[in-house]
Amino acid sequence: MPVITLANTKGGAGKTTATLILACELARRGNRVTILDADPRGWISRWHAIAGAGKLISVSSGVTEETIEDMTAKAKKRGGYILIDLPSSHDALLAKAVGLADHVLIPVQGCAMDAAGGADVLELLNELDARCGIQVAHSVVLTRVNAAVTTRALQAAKDFLASRAIPTLQTPIAERAAYRDIFDKGGALQALNPEEVSNLGKALDNAAQLADELIALLPQKAARPAARKPVMAKAA
């Protein structure tokens, strides 16, 4: 039951979009996914209200600093993956959501650390380690990367982050119409109509690659697909 917290104190960094991309891809693989919508603006809850997204994805709305621990514990009972979509505030809610995470994913556009919004989160992670000895695994994910961007420019952004010893996913999230349309149309990314959404296939491939890389970074007790039956122990 890994908990993944999406954090960046800058609005528009791509937290909510990355949450939905991951939720849809993890569910496509047969995993239960619970999204804790901790953003009072409720984008994920609005998306879910449009068309739902199958039985595997459940959304808990209105999660606050007061309820996040209980909601996380409840979601853990349900099993599967838990994704926390945060608002862009720098407050106790952020600190709690980071403390609860098995992995903190920090979406960042370009290499300017999103005007320090990503740096805020990294600072918080460092403080947790220095003051409380709590080490939370984390990585930056480059978002809204123009598909036409040269590999060299992308590598420069990765090198910049590496030079500051900031763990960064190899897979960036590209700028795709599908990642915008999903908020208007509701439902899963995979349910969008390829005739209506340009480059849907590329958006789905990107989602799969992102999930592959993230899953490999999660604790080994990672969520089992909902459909898989327990393995029976063999008699001695």
Ligand X SMILES: Nc1ncnc2c1ncn2[C@@H]1O[C@H](COP(=O)(O)OP(=O)(O)O)[C@@H](O)[C@H]1O
Q: Which positions lie near ligand X, rule CB under 6 A?
A: 8, 11-17, 88, 143-144, 173, 175-176, 179-180
Instruction: Decide whether 180 or 202 has the Cβ nearer to ligand X.
Output: 180
Quote the least distance from Cβ 144 to ligand X, whole Å: 5
Instruction: Decide whether 87 or 99 has the Cβ nearer to ligand X.
Output: 87
Environment class of residue 7 by beta-carbon count within 10 Å: exposed (0-12), middle (13-18) or buried (19+)? buried
Quote the least distance from Cβ 123 to ligand X, whole Å: 18
Residue 16 touches Mg ion, criterion: CB under 5 A:
yes
Instruction: Look at residue 202 and give the partner it binds from ligand X, Mg ion, none, a contact being a CB closer than 5 to 8 Å depending on partner kind.
Output: none
Quote the least distance from Cβ 16 to ligand X, whole Å: 3
Report which of 137, 72, 78, 81 is spatially closest to residue 100, judged by C-alpha positions. Answer: 72
Instruction: Look at residue 17 and give the partner it binds from ligand X, Mg ion, none, a contact being a CB closer than 5 to 8 Å depending on partner kind.
Output: ligand X
The DSSP annotation for 173-190 comes to PB--HHHHHHHHH-S-GG
Instruction: Look at residue 103 and give the partner it binds from ligand X, Mg ion, none, a contact being a CB closer than 5 to 8 Å depending on partner kind.
Output: none
Bridge-based pairing of strands 137-143 and 103-109 is parallel
Quote the least distance from Cβ 164 to Mg ion, whole Å: 25
Quote the least distance from Cβ 235 to ligand X, whole Å: 52
CB within 8 A of 194, min separation 6: which ones?
200, 201
- Judged by CB under 5 A, the stretch of 10-18, 134-142, 211-219, 228-236 that binds Mg ion is 10-18
Residue with tokens 């900031």: 166
Residue nearest to Mg ion (CB): 16
For residue 188 the two structure tokens come to 């899963």
Residue with tokens 């960042």: 108
Instruction: Decide whether 1 or 98 has the Cβ nearer to ligand X.
Output: 98
Helices and strands in the chain: count of H runs, count of E runs: 8, 6
Quote the least distance from Cβ 16 to Mg ion, whole Å: 3
Instruction: Look at residue 143 and give the partner it binds from Mg ion, ligand X, none, a contact being a CB closer than 5 to 8 Å depending on partner kind.
Output: ligand X
3-state SS, residue 83 = strand
Q: Within 13 Å and on the Cβ side, how many CA atoms surround 147?
A: 11
The residue from 10, 15, 138, 144 that contacts Mg ion (CB under 5 A) is: 15
CA distances to 13, 111, 113, 157, 214 from 164, rounded to whole Å, are 20, 12, 11, 11, 21
Instruction: Decide whether 34 or 88 has the Cβ nearer to ligand X.
Output: 88
Residues that bind Mg ion (CB under 5 A): 15-16
